[in-house]
Amino acid sequence: MKLFLRYFFISALLIPLAAKAQFENFKDSVVELYGVVMTADSLQALPSVSIVVKGTTRGTFTNNQGVFSIVVLKGNAIEFSSVGYKAKTVIIPKNIEGNQYSVLQLMVTDTVFLAATIIKSRPTREQFERDFLKTKVPDDNLELARQNNDEDRRRFLMSTLPRDGKEAANKYLSQQSAKYYYAGQAPPQNIFNPFAWADFIKAWKRGDFKKKY
């Protein structure tokens, strides 16, 4: 019990010392970053420049004279950005002495290429009427339904569209039924069937055997 109390009192004395040492290390790493942001071509103060510590949500803006001040840590990466200027990144050195660091940041204009604009004269009345009459109006749903109900259109869709599950199952059952119906005997030859010849001639006239692209 005495040994436990001895360790307890020693720990109680060391904890404040460790916390104080940790606080001193943190205090030594804190830096006040301040300075001025100016344009690189004319050395004019640049207001409303965004200054953000990368990887965090901490930041500030320059005032009307381009002056700023922010608390950062040694080793932080500070990004300067403004509309119309190239973003700049400044690394706070880890080996600086003291708790203050000043910068004079110059911002370079960012060149933006806009798409070319072609200006044309206003069309004449004759040109407007010609283009208006040649404008193709897309078909509405009623016209599309009317086109799909056309006999040639339906025949084309039947020959090109794949069968769904119900049609494939009916085709398979029909083939199996014909196979079992003529099991044990020779199936009839349609070459001698006049009705089959009549259906063949009708299909030939309709163009069912033409090559479709």
- Per the structure block, which two tokens stand in for 80? 């300067």
Q: List, for residues 97-156, the tens digit of each pLDDT value.
A: 888 899 999 999 987 777 788 887 878 888 888 888 888 878 888 888 888 788 888 877
Give me the percent of the chain exceeding a pLDDT of 70: 85
Spell out a b/e string for 90-102, using b for 16 or more CB atoms within 10 Å of the CB, else e: bebeeeeeeeebe
Q: Are strands 100-107 and 30-39 parallel, antiparallel or unpaired?
A: parallel
Average pLDDT of the chain is: 80
Taken in order of first residue, the domains within the chain and their CATH numbers are: 10-107 (2.60.40.1120), 125-201 (no CATH)
Give residue 17's pLDDT.
43
Sheet with 30-39: list strands edge to edge.
67-73, 30-39, 100-107
The dihedrals phi and psi of 189, each to the nearest 5 degrees, come to -100, 120
Q: List, for residues 147-172, the tens digit of each pLDDT value.
A: 878 888 887 777 777 777 888 888 88
Sheet with 59-61: list strands edge to edge.
59-61, 50-53, 77-82, 85-91
